[in-house]
Amino acid sequence: MKKIIFGIAIILISAIQSCMTTKDVTGKYSSRYYEHFLKLESDSTFKYEFRSFHMYAQSSGKWLRAGKNALVLNSNITTTVVPMKIAVLNNVSYNSLSINVNTVDSLKSENYRCQIYLNDTLYTIRRADSLSEFKLAHSPRNIYLKFAFDPIVSVSNLISPPVATEKHTLGIANAPRSIKLTLDLPTSFFYYRPFKQEVLKITRRSVAFYNSFKKRWEYVPKVPDSVNIFMRD
Amino acid sequence: MATEEKNLKGATEKLSEIEAKIVKGGTSEKLEKQLKSVQEEISTINSTLNDLESSSREITEMGTTKAQKFTFKEITGEVGGTEVIDGVITMSITGNANGIHETAHGYHRFKKNETTASNRWKLEILPYQRQFSFDASSVKNRVPSIFGTVSSRNQISEKWVSGIYGGSGTFIYSPGVSTKNLREFWEEKQ
């Protein structure tokens, strides 16, 4: 009987202590299979890799505690949505679309494939250096683009998540118009996973990311510091 | 490999038995069906053996060549990747089955057959076939594709690869493409 009372007392004391102290969450976390690989440093910085088969993205930035059971990630780049400039010319004889993609010299636009979405429907996929002019049967009400990194000369079998532009709403056209889009495509947006006020749950031996596709929390166990969790150090 | 060789021996004996029955008593629908089934089994085992032998031969060549530097890096998770970093073909692997997969990529990068990303679907067929031959369950149960589960290495095709998706629902080898568009693409091809 004494042993049982002693045992209960120990459990109670541990429980009270754990409520009073904030658990140290620094260290490495690794999904058993896919997708999250995270290192929380003691200086409040983090490094992260997303790996799903050969799809790969990385991130880095700052983390902070949000109470006892949560933390928040903010990456150095908080969005990879590409801004677009749009110019519409009226008084033209036919509907058309032309897109001018600017990239840094080392990675020319031919290294990207552009998916053009008109009225939320895929219109065509082209290399991003061949987007000079499309004659359209109808002028679109809205337009956005998605870019996939598809290099002419590849040095890796890792695949970047696609990078999308903002969506432009144009409204209904009563007469033909010519749409000209101009955008700068930052190389740094590819292979990158942005976090903006991303809340992670903290449990005893893991952190959890919310999977909005599956609508559930995915627990990522803590692993020893000696384990190599990153593909690109 | 020993298991596959034993299976091949058993299937070959079975084939001889069926052929002997046909010679002796003539053929029948049942015997023809059995014959076809055993022939398919032998073909599958031969493909598996060929995959394993090729993997072994390529790993040996990669280990002995002085023309190219290779390195393996062991990481956590399920799938790694293969990259050329400062001229060194670096294969990040998570275990033996993934090691076989990435080694196939590494070897083909060495042989300059993997220099463009445009034919990604094709480039993944052989590595997944090798992985399947080494450990079928690592592909059957762990690689989801909207075009179904593969039950043999010969079912690993461009179409199947194109439909592989991750935990967030995105197509890995068809980034940004919707399910509808991918299905339409293959319907138009047929």
Contacts of A32 in chain B (CB under 8 A): 77-78
Under an 8 Å CB criterion, which residues of A touch B? Answer: 30-35, 37, 51-56, 115, 122, 146-162, 164, 211, 213-214, 218, 223, 227-231
Strands B70-74 and B88-93: parallel
A18 — pLDDT class (breaks 50, 70, 90)? very low
Closest partner residue to B81 (CB to CB) among A153, A158, A211 is A158
Is residue A131 helix, strand or coil?
coil
* Distance (Å, whole) CA A162 – CA B174: 9
CA atoms within 13 A on the CB side of A92: 16
Average confidence (pLDDT) over B2-12: 83
Smallest Cβ–Cβ distance between A157 and the set B82, B175, B178 belongs to B82
User: What is the mean predicted confidence (pLDDT) over A176-202?
Assistant: 96
> What does the alpha-carbon distance between residue A153 and residue A107 come to, in Å, rounded to a whole number?
10
pLDDT tens per residue, range B148-168: 999 999 999 999 999 999 998
Could you tell me the pLDDT band of residue B171, with boundaries at 50, 70 and 90? very high
The confidence band for A31, taking pLDDT boundaries of 50, 70 and 90, is very high
- How does the average pLDDT of chain B come out, rounded? 92
| pTM exceeds 0.90 for this model | no
Q: Which of A122, A162, A211 sits opposite B167 (nearest CB)?
A: A211
- pLDDT, one tens digit per residue, over A55-73 is 999 999 999 999 999 999 9
More confident of the two residues A212 and A1: A212
User: pLDDT per residue over B45-83, tens digit each?
Assistant: 888 999 999 999 999 999 999 999 999 999 999 999 999
When CB atoms are compared, the residue of B83, B84, B167 closest to A214 is B167
Q: Which residue in chain B has the smallest CA separation from A224?
A: B76
Q: Are strands A45-52 and A55-65 parallel, antiparallel or unpaired?
A: antiparallel
Q: How far is B179 from chain A (nearest CA, A)?
A: 12
Residue A48's pLDDT is 98
From A196's Cα to the closest Cα of chain B, the distance in A is: 18
Look at residues B133, B155, B117, B54 and name the one whose alpha carbon lies nearest to residue A56.
B117
Angle formed at CA B67 by CA B66 and CA B68, multiple of 5 degrees: 95
Higher pLDDT, A33 or A51: A51
CB contact under 8 A, A162 and B175: yes
CB contact under 8 A, A157 and B76: no
Confidence of residue B23 (pLDDT cuts 50, 70, 90): confident
A30 neighbourhood in chain B, CB within 8 Å: 76-77
The two structure tokens encoding residue A95: 């509907």
Q: Is B183 on the interface with A (CB under 8 A)?
A: no
- Phi/psi of residue A28, nearest 5 degrees: -105, 145
Residue-wise pLDDT for A105-138, tens only, equals 667 888 999 999 999 999 999 999 888 899 999 9
Instruction: Decide if the complex's ipTM is over 0.85.
Output: yes
Q: Please compute the mean of the pLDDT values over residues A75-87 and round it to a whole number.
A: 96
Which of B16-20, B90-94, B113-117 reaches the highest mean pLDDT? B90-94
- The strands making up A134-136's β-sheet, listed across from edge to edge, are A85-89, A178-184, A95-102, A134-136
Is a pLDDT exceeding 50 seen at residue B105?
A: yes
Q: Are the Cβ atoms of A153 and B115 closer than 8 angstroms?
A: yes
Whether the CB of B170 is below 8 Å from some CB of chain A: the reply is yes
Residue A4 has pLDDT above 70, yes or no: no
Hey, is the C-beta of B74 within 8 angstroms of any chain A C-beta? yes
Strand bridging mode A35-40 / A112-118: unpaired
* B95-118 mean pLDDT: 90
CB-based contact B81 A54, cutoff 8 Å: yes
Nearest CA in chain A to B172: A55
- What integer pLDDT is reported at residue B24 of this predicted model? 86
Q: Which residues of B touch A157 (CB under 8 A)?
A: 81-83, 105, 114, 117, 120, 123
* pLDDT of residue A1 exceeding 60: no
Chain B partners within 8 Å of A218 (Cβ): 167
pLDDT at B91 over 60: yes
Mean predicted confidence (pLDDT) in A207-221: 95
What is the amino acid identity at position B185? F
B140, B141, B144, B149: CA torsion to nearest 10: 40
Interface contact B76-A229, CB threshold 8 A? yes
Q: What percent of chain A has pLDDT over 90?
A: 79
Flag whether pLDDT at A11 surpasses 70: no
Q: Do B166 and A34 touch (CB under 8 A)?
A: yes
- pLDDT higher than threshold 70 for residue A21: no
